[in-house]
Amino acid sequence: MENKGFKILIHASTWFAPILVPIITYFIISDREIKSLSLQALVFHIVIGILISVSAFFSWILIGIPFLIIFGLIAIIAPIVGIVKAFNGRPFRYPIIGSWF
């Protein structure tokens, strides 16, 4: 599968540079599939960051704790699924965000 390494890098960037790697990859690589995946990852990381921040803020009144747990799990599980699918050469679209790009 071509560009498998870039796909894995984009998904794995969630743990070391969730904003920087998708932006750089978007501008460096000309492949349309990689560009779409970079935008998906970038928007996913931004949205999940906002959701986790809001949930953390509201956790002081206990309302945010369930959401914090759910969004935290999504932030961990979605990139892992993307890495596994990219490694196996199968396509992956981020939940909800993937339908926009």
DSSP class of residue 97 equals G
> How far lies 53's CA from each of 6, 45, 59, in Å?
28, 12, 10
pTM tops 0.85, yes or no:
no
Span 33-76, pLDDT tens digits: 889 889 999 999 999 899 888 888 887 777 778 888 888 898 89
Q: How far is CA 19 from the centre of its chain?
A: 9
> How far is Cα 13 from Cα 49, in angstroms, rounded to an integer?
14
> How far is Cα 15 from Cα 65, in angstroms, rounded to an integer?
22
Dihedral of the CA atoms 39, 42, 44, 50 (nearest 10)? -140
Span 78-101, pLDDT tens digits: 889 989 998 888 888 887 776 676
pLDDT of residue 98: 62
